[in-house]
Structure 1
């Protein structure tokens, strides 16, 4: 039968009970709620042949960035296609099915395009908006994220239960495109409509990070603990943001406490959790902090994911854990997997080739102490690094490693240029950059003194 969902669009479902569970699933997904899988299961238990829910479950599987989930996603696609044919699914439902098929074939950008096309006739469908947002985020397509949300947002208004979440999505897009003031204002506004919008809350935290306002960022997050208490593992990512703020303040003790009690509360191998942990440990070590045996736990888990090869961002963080955890064989397996992916076709092959593999080799060389080589590889990857996905804040660990590699190799002018470019993009100089710019300036003055002495000596 055809029923109308909370956005006013037709869905092909077997019962009102299924539709009610589906509407709840959408709201839970938008809030990054840990109850999202439970809500989705309820919808599919009420109607196992609910094609839209099956295809969305398949997309959820792919967003996990785990190779074994591709088989589960294919099962969802098979069920969704059969159900869509038997029940004469709507064009919107068909578009989601085809988006799942496109991603499974190696074309996630095509999947996002198909969903954007479906939004032309269903612009209030916040689920599709969020799915496009998530896929383009994975692809590092900040401009595409922004275009998508700005195209549909005029169709949304405060009467919709999803309005605040949409403002949060746009806030994040603005931040990733460098419009920090507008992003902060919109993120704060969105929380007034959706107090549980952890994504919008964290968009404002991104602004604090990018503009060097860590003290304000700490106050912001600690003032809104209920904004992410309901979350799935995205909550660990918000804790990670808080730890970054404390690191910028130089409070290492607080950072380590957050790492142990919150960020790695659950020792999962989810790539998002591994990336939180590995990038934070790397930042700490760059500040001269002894992180103890913490790398070992991450390296053990990452070793088991070394041949996933389905998410460049994930692979680079697994590699970060492997090289720092001393897992030589795991490192070699992952680098070999990256090499294979450069020839695998699809959207990710050129990203592995131009960003993933050279950055991975740079991480390996950095850990071996070959800083000149590390700098060469990391700088080679730098222009294409946004395409690995993630945010500016998440990818900043690779920027820091590039800069520190240059400084350790004695390439102070190169490092200074990168620091200055980083500051221009971020809108401020943070503690990390301030300290290293001071070192670069000291080395410049020392070099000049040495050159003056050499000239005087040669003149005499």
Structure 2
């Protein structure tokens, strides 16, 4: 009987199909290139292997290939009928994600893990900056991620994937020393692990240890396959280090070489949000000549996020829309209002006020930007993402305060951030606020 790496039964009579499936799962769990090909090989060896079909469907979904994802998920549901109850539930949870039913997926995943705590791909659905908890609209999603990891820790021991996400969850919950130690351990256990490198980069960022983060990525990135879906985002972390050091040209070079949407093999949500957020941070820092880049990222957003619905994309759509002008941003905010009125906007009005605050800031209306952004930032966690990603809106509020002559307000917010972690950028803004 074939089993996965966590000793769970796989309903396939093909040893080769099972081996390819295990390889594909390890690639997914380590954010490493090769999962698509591995699952395709598994399906070729056993066309009736339902779990290989649903895992491949999940990758189609991440790449925003919706038609292919839904078709493969439907086929997996047919194929899994003769498999074990665990595999049937696994396919149903994955299919709920692919079908855009997050509440059903969360409830199903939590119930599934009660019975099968070592089903790592199901647990992984709940975790991460773009996971089901993060995009649920909950303000306490960081605590929820840590809680479910802690609850299942005894079932994983020193497993390299689980340690990666346990470390990440501690970091995002504010337990920085423990989060960094666990992330360092995860890198030791498996260096070819983009998720561990990502978690460690966040821990160093949150501690204000930007130079250590830069050095780590400089040593680690050359061995990382550039087609792996986190490669561009890890380059984004390198750009944040450059920005903190005041190296705007270096940060822009990273954008141009590794992040901008020019045939990148990364999921569109990563490309769009990393690109828009880095360009906005560069603009806040005073970088000029970004107009061609803004037009390119706005066009990319129109291609992949034409309608409101993916709220983390929507709040980044506001960045591009505010910078290029026109009617697109007003239309998007109207769509968000409609979704919120219908109860279909997970973060509620928080997402809308962030968009309106960004537009006011771009229009030079700093007083109105402050009025809109300040209360929204108290609910900022509801949009999902990581602390490092969400910091952009607080940066914007600080710059709005400085431009509006509200140095006192800016200084208080900067002081709170400096108490949490040192930052060369915040120290410079603090001096400006006190001038």
**Runs of at least 5 residues in structure 2 that lack an aligned partner in the other structure:** none
**Runs of at least 5 residues in structure 1 that lack an aligned partner in the other structure:** 443-460
Q: Tell me, yes or no, if structure 1 residue 80 matches structure 2 residue 55.
A: no
Q: Tell me, yes or no, if structure 1 residue 382 matches structure 2 residue 377.
A: yes
Partner of 2:365: 370
Partner of 2:421: 428
Cα distance in structure 1, aligned partners of 2:317 and 2:91 = 31
Does the C-alpha gap of structure 1 residues 212 and 172 become closer, same or farther in structure 2, counting only changes over 3 Å? same
3-state SS of paired residue (1:341):
helix
Partner of 1:156: 156
1:244 is matched with which residue: 231, 240, 243?
A: 240
Partner of 2:180: 184
3-state SS of paired residue (1:24):
helix
Displacement of 1:186 in angstroms is 0.9
TM-score, length-scaled by structure 2: 0.90
Cα distance in structure 1, aligned partners of 2:380 and 2:60 = 24
Partner of 2:37: 38
Does the C-alpha gap of structure 1 residues 152 and 344 become closer, same or farther in structure 2, counting only changes over 3 Å? same
Partner of 2:109: 115
3-state SS of paired residue (1:224):
helix
Cα distance in structure 1, aligned partners of 2:329 and 2:43 = 40
Displacement of 1:26 in angstroms is 0.3
Partner of 2:84: 90
RMSD, matched Cα? 2.3
Displacement of 1:176 in angstroms is 0.3
Does the C-alpha gap of structure 1 residues 333 and 101 become closer, same or farther in structure 2, counting only changes over 3 Å? same
Displacement of 1:4 in angstroms is 2.1
Q: Is the 8 A contact 1:31 1:231 kept in 2?
A: no
Alignment of 1:160-309 (within 5 A): 163-226=159-222, 228-229=224-225, 231-264=227-260, 266-268=262-264, 270-292=268-290, 293-309=292-308
Displacement of 1:438 in angstroms is 1.7
Partner of 1:449: none
Displacement of 1:435 in angstroms is 1.7
Does the C-alpha gap of structure 1 residues 308 and 22 become closer, same or farther in structure 2, counting only changes over 3 Å? farther
Cα distance in structure 2, aligned partners of 1:213 and 1:244 = 12
TM-score, length-scaled by structure 1: 0.86
Partner of 1:439: 432
Does the C-alpha gap of structure 1 residues 308 and 50 become closer, same or farther in structure 2, counting only changes over 3 Å? farther
Partner of 2:387: 392
3-state SS of paired residue (2:2):
strand
* Greater Rg by CA: 1
3-state SS of paired residue (1:22):
helix
3-state SS of paired residue (2:133):
helix
Deviations 1:416-452 (A, max 9, x none): 332233334xx2131222122222222xxxxxxxxxx
Q: Is the 8 A contact 2:93 2:122 kept in 1?
A: no
Displacement of 1:38 in angstroms is 1.3
Q: Is the 8 A contact 1:137 1:390 kept in 2?
A: yes
